[in-house]
Amino acid sequence: MKRTDSQSIGKLLEDFFESNPILADRLAETRLVNHWNAMNPAISRYTVNLFVRNRILYVKLNSSVLKNELMMCREQLITNLNREAGRNVVDTIVFT
């Protein structure tokens, strides 16, 4: 029996996530957190906790110097992280 309506797995997953935007957002949030940890070893070494809630990225750092430096380039970080996540996931970053 020959199948005539075959589709690639990538296309099927893309269609699935388009029909389930909540899952697509969660997947993008996971990509964002993974990118933060892989972005710069020096930054990830000082990152204690990292999570996304209500389109806000909460980052707990144990270095006040790094916290101040990251606050100055917050908008650039948001742009880069959203680009890596593949969609607009984060509107702001809160450093604690």
Confidence of residue 20 (pLDDT cuts 50, 70, 90): confident
Q: Reduce the DSSP state of residue 95 to 3 states and report it.
A: strand
Decide if pLDDT at 5 tops 80.
no
Exposure string (b/e) for 48-86, b if CB count within 10 Å is 16 or more? eeeebeeeebebebeeeebeeebeeeeeebbeebbebbe
Instruction: Please state the rounded mean pLDDT for residues 50-68.
Output: 93
**Fold of domain 9-95:** Alpha-Beta Plaits (3.30.70)
**What is the Cα–Cα distance from 56 to 47, expressed in whole angstroms?**
16
Q: What's the pLDDT tens digit per position in 81-92?
A: 999 888 899 999
Radius of gyration of the chain (CA): 17
pLDDT of residue 42: 85
Kindly report the average pLDDT of the chain as a whole number. Answer: 88
Quick one: pLDDT at residue 1? 60
